[in-house]
Amino acid sequence: MQASTLTLFLLFTSVLSFAQTDGPSSKTAMEKLSFLAGKWSGSGWQMNQQRQKMAFTQTEDIEFLTDGESLLIKGLGKSNNPETGEERVIHNAVALITYDPEEDRYDFRSFVVGRGSGNHIGHLVADGHFEWFLETPNGKIRYTITINEKGQWHEIGEFAMGDSWFQFFEMTLDKL
């Protein structure tokens, strides 16, 4: 009886060891995104449907949660109404980034006022260089965040139908 119990225990623990991944732990992988944490403010532009650049101001408030295993991003963008000059909110969003060790990727769950929610995939390309992607019915969107030589957050947004990418968004933020 004891021999069969020991055999079952060894079999069970060996199966568990196969279920573990060789990649980094969630917390270790999330630490690699620490360059994003903090409060940021700056400006940028985005293309409207007539392919005209529209200026905006942006703030990002980013903090680690759940003992460093998730990253909460709160973004607020404002622009002046071209007809009245009145300031208006054009982007109000929150996102939660977590790391999936089985897929070796960052899962990016976003909620945007007026546009709903989405699940996206992100990748750390290099230190201080993060990309995340959206699939749309009309094509793909890629956002690329880098920390430039001045320590600023620089982000571009690009759209592709097929293999050609077209930039429609850019912003530069300073850490507060």
Residue 107: C-alpha distances to residues 15, 61, 93 (Å):
27, 19, 16
Specify if 126 maps to a domain.
yes
141 phi and psi, to 5 degrees? -120, 135
- CA dist., res. 85 & res. 130, Å (int): 34
- Domain of 164, in residue numbers: 23-175
What pLDDT score does 24 carry?
Answer: 65
Give me the pLDDT at residue 11, please.
40
Q: Is residue 8, in this structure, part of any structural domain at all?
A: no
- Tell me the CB-side half-sphere exposure of residue 38, using CA atoms within 13 A: 13
In a domain, 14, yes or no: no
- Residue 92 located in a structural domain: yes
CB 118 within 8 A of CB 110: yes
Number of domains in the chain: 1
- Asked whether residue 110 is assigned to any structural domain, the reply reads yes
Q: What is the CATH number of the domain that holds 133?
A: 2.40.128.20
Stated pTM of the model? 0.81
Number of CB atoms found within 10 A of residue 166's CB: 12
At 168, list the tokens.
């429609």
Nearest to 126 by CA among 27, 30, 33: 33
The pLDDT of residue 146 is 97
Give the model's pLDDT for residue 161. Answer: 87
Q: What's the confidence (pLDDT) of residue 2? A: 52
Query: Would you say residue 62 lies in a domain?
Result: yes
Profile the chain (176 residues) by mean pLDDT over runs of 10 residues. 44 42 76 97 92 94 96 96 89 96 94 92 93 91 96 97 92 98
Residue 155 lies in a domain: yes
User: In this structure, are residues 126 and 135 in contact, taking their beta carbons and an 8 Å threshold?
Assistant: no
Check residue 40 and give its pLDDT: 99
CA distance 147 to 152: 5
The answer as to whether 168 is a domain residue is: yes
Cα dihedral 44, 47, 51, 52 sign: negative
